[in-house]
Amino acid sequence: MRDVKVIGAGFGRTGTRSLKAALEVLGFGPCYHMSAVIAEPYRVRQWLDVGEGRSRDWDTVFAGFRSALDWPASAYWRELAAYYPDAKVILTVRDPARWYDSVSETIFRSALEQRRPLPLRRRVVRWLVARRSPDFALYPRMARATFIDRVFDGRVDDRDHVIEVFERHVAEVKAAIPAERLLVFEAGQGWGPLCAFLGVPVPDVEYPQVNERAAFRRKRPRRLLRLIVRGR
């Protein structure tokens, strides 16, 4: 049974974490997000199979979820929109320059670090993670296969190129998805347009404001330590 009712076509760092929380308040949860991949590392291998062309079993990937946002899912918005024809599509957007500043300091920064020689301490941590959590150790390869290389040709340090890709992506989604099925949405718009689009009442709570930019780097060491200790 195809239970996914909302597909997010927006790139990471366009308010997807706040939208995840909002959808779950509105009854469209659980919502699949990159955070689910990080929390349950076996999902890394699922996406690696997708990215490297071995499998696209969407029903298995999204089993138990009613919505899907953020990378890697949003990199496959065309396929998901076709596979879940009754699902509505939300394209989260923000100012392209501000978006690049945010993503370059978080998601892309992690990707670029994989290309540089690491100090001994970092190499030891990487080795321990690979031993204790072999699925999560595949995360950099999965990210390259599903969106770093696939969407951006690996050129995530090229500001002009990345912004051009962002703007082209927005135009392509708008052109491909019928207007009645698509909501172009900024987090600052709040509940009104989102609830009207989904056909649900406006809840009596403030729209979620989840900004992890400052916390992104702080969380990473704790996450790696947890993987090493628990062996997930």
CA nearest neighbour of 142 among 54, 14, 31, 11: 54
Q: Please write the tens of the pLDDT for every residue from 58-81.
A: 999 999 999 999 999 999 999 999
pLDDT for the residue numbered 19: 97
Q: pLDDT band at residue 33, thresholds of 50, 70 and 90?
A: very high
Residue 1 lies in a domain: no
**CATH code, domain carrying 164:** 3.40.50.300
C-alpha to C-alpha distance for 191 and 194, rounded to whole angstroms: 5
Structure tokens at 195: 């609830």
Would you say residue 174 has pLDDT above 60? Answer: yes
Q: Please write the tens of the pLDDT for every residue from 79-136.
A: 999 999 999 999 999 999 999 999 999 899 877 666 556 555 555 555 455 555 678 7
Would you say residue 57 has pLDDT above 70? Answer: yes
Neighbours of 60 (CB within 10 A): 10
Domain span holding position 195: 6-230
Residue 198 lies in a domain: yes
What CA–CA distances, in Å, run from 96 to 47, 163, 166, 196? 27, 6, 7, 26
The conformation of residue 185, written as its DSSP 8-state character, comes to E
Residue 82 lies in a domain: yes
Residue 17 falls in which region: left (phi positive, over 0), alpha (psi -120 to 50) or beta: alpha
Would you say residue 217 has pLDDT above 70? Answer: no
Residue 165 lies in a domain: yes
Average pLDDT of the residues of the chain = 88
pLDDT for the residue numbered 164: 98
CA angle 213, 218, 220 (to 5 degrees): 100
Q: Please write the tens of the pLDDT for every residue from 176-207.
A: 999 999 999 998 999 999 999 999 999 999 99
Instruction: Quote the number of domains for the chain.
Output: 1
pLDDT for the residue numbered 187: 86
Residue 10 lies in a domain: yes
Residue 124, Cβ density class (10 Å: 0-12 exposed, 13-18 middle, ≥19 buried): exposed
Structure tokens at 61: 């990937």
137 neighbors 223 (Cβ within 8 angstroms)? no
Structure tokens at 145: 């296969």
> pTM value?
0.87
